[in-house]
Amino acid sequence: MGEATTCWALIPIKPPGQGKSRLSGALDAQVRSRLVEAMLKRVADAARASPAIQRVCLLSDPELRCAAPLAVLNDAGGGLNTALEAAMATLPQPAPDRIVVIAADLPQLSPQDLTMLATVSPRTIAIAPDRHGMGTNAISLPITAAQRFRFQFGTQSFIAHRHEADRLGYSVETMLSDGLEKDIDEPADLPDAEVCLQEAL
């Protein structure tokens, strides 16, 4: 039997008060910020409950205080893609075999979703698209790929991330589940955040 592989989850989150601006027409600033916190807690709890994940880190401002006591990797600035690339280059050692980058706005995420992302075969990059098949809600990278991967968050990132995996010579697996697809970007998405929204109101 081979050595057990290790996997960490990395959750990027903007500093308090800065996230989910597209919801500002539907929710006031205080509710929005509580919703962001409730969704982050849900994602962090799901990651911590997955037996395939050994460590859960946030990528954010190191001053961030959140309900869950999690390690925070410094967001070096420059936007999400640049900050992720910098974080991959400066991971605490010993680094894991695999790292799952997962959005903080997935209120229906389950531990099984994390386990599915963490347990793909070694030469595989797994990508979870959003409900429109356009954006990327999670990406699971072997450590050998993580440090060369050019993140493409922004518009149409799902296809761009697939191309990036091809460029690096990894096979791609698409991960689909309700928990992974249903990120909360627009007011129309809010019914999918019902439980977190109850906490926030």
Ligand X SMILES: Nc1nc2c(ncn2[C@@H]2O[C@H](COP(=O)(O)OP(=O)(O)OP(=O)(O)O)[C@@H](O)[C@H]2O)c(=O)[nH]1
Ligand Y SMILES: C[C@H](OP(=O)(O)O)C(=O)O
Binding site for ligand X (CB under 6 A): 12-14, 19-22, 59-60, 75, 79-80, 83, 103-105, 183, 185
Nearest-angstrom CA–CA distance, 169 and 177: 26
For ligand X, the closer CB: 103 or 117? 103
Q: Which does 181 bind (CB under 5 to 8 A by kind): ligand Y, ligand X, none?
A: none
153 closest CA partner among 114, 105, 191, 89: 105
Phi, psi of 171 (to 5 degrees): -80, 160
Report the interface residues with ligand Y, using CB under 6 A: 130, 135-136, 153-154, 157, 183, 185
Cα separation, 4 vs 97, in Å, equals 10
Which residue's Cβ has the minimum distance to ligand Y? 135
If DSSP codes are grouped into helix, strand and coil, which group holds residue 105? Answer: coil
Helix (H, G, I), strand (E, B) or coil at 196: helix
Give 19 or 96: the residue with its C-beta nearer to ligand X: 19
Q: Smallest gap, in angstroms, from Cβ of residue 80 to ligand Y?
A: 6
- Which entry of ligand Y, ligand X, none binds 83, CB below 5 to 8 A by partner kind? ligand X
Instruction: Name the residue nearer to ligand X (CB basis): 100 or 103.
Output: 103
Peptide bond into 69 cis (omega under 30): no
- Least distance (Å) between residue 154 CB and ligand Y: 5
